[in-house]
Amino acid sequence: MSRRQEMTPDRSELAEAVIWHDAEHGSYAADIALWERLAAEHPGGVVDLGAGTGRVTLRLAAMGHEVVAVDRDPELLGALQTRAAARGLGVGAVCCDVRELDLGSRYPLIVAPMQLLHILGGAEGRRAAMSAVAEHLTPEGRFCAALLDDDYEVGGGRPDPLPDVREIDDWIYSSLPTEIRIGRREIEMKRLRQRVAPDGALVEAPFAISLDRF
């Protein structure tokens, strides 16, 4: 397949969920070298759980790895497929919950980047996910996941966090981490989302996500 030039999508073509996902997660790259190394060490196919819009999937596919992207959000997965096609990358995509994973095949490497294991509904959800993952690993296969370091709070002598920003069609999307509250069983992460129109009109709203502690 010939490689086609990737065009910046028009804002009207993107769902709000895709834009915010890109703004808050798309530029994170601290873990990319790890996933690249693991894919090289375990050739034969990679499953990217919680693939989102393709931050890890597209990088590994561009290196020549066969990748199956799994996400339960059809809008995010649709954006991933569009971007893969624009780059001439053959990527498999499956829209499902990882706790009900059923790919019909086994793989030498399954990865779960970012905070996937923290949003599965507690220990019962994690057990269901681990059971499903185990059924999809080859005998020598490996499952690797990122876990959140919960010994952290906004402030505490650390530099003030910078907002995650994306500009598209002269619209500015900014997401600023404002608070991390660590409870006994969960971590609540709060952000302030701001959307600035080309004419300068500002709309802002708080956003929060609750993550399970292990």
For residues 44 and 64, give the distance between their C-alpha atoms in angstroms, rounded to a whole number: 11
Question: What band does 5 get if pLDDT is binned at 50, 70 and 90?
Answer: very low
pTM recorded for the entire structure: 0.87
Is residue 2 pLDDT above 90, yes or no?
A: no
Task: Read off the tokens for 178.
Answer: 């404002």
The reported pLDDT for the residue numbered 11 is: 55
pLDDT above 70 as % of the chain:
89
CA nearest neighbour of 49 among 104, 14, 93: 93
The 10 Å Cβ neighbour count of residue 41 is 10
Q: Is 164-212 a domain of CATH 2.20.25?
A: yes
Mean pLDDT taken over the chain: 90
Q: What tens digit of pLDDT does each residue of 94-140 get?
A: 999 999 999 999 999 999 998 999 999 999 999 999 999 999 999 99
CATH topology of domain 11-145: Rossmann fold (3.40.50)
The reported pLDDT for the residue numbered 164 is: 92
Give start-end residues of each CATH 3.40.50.150 domain in the chain. 11-145
The reported pLDDT for the residue numbered 148 is: 84
Residue 135, strand partner residues: none
Q: What tens digit of pLDDT does each residue of 8-66 get?
A: 455 555 688 999 999 999 889 999 999 999 999 999 999 999 999 999 999 999 999 99
The reported pLDDT for the residue numbered 50 is: 97
Give start-end residues of each CATH 2.20.25 domain in the chain. 164-212
The reported pLDDT for the residue numbered 6 is: 36
**Radius of gyration (Cα) for the chain, nearest Å?**
18
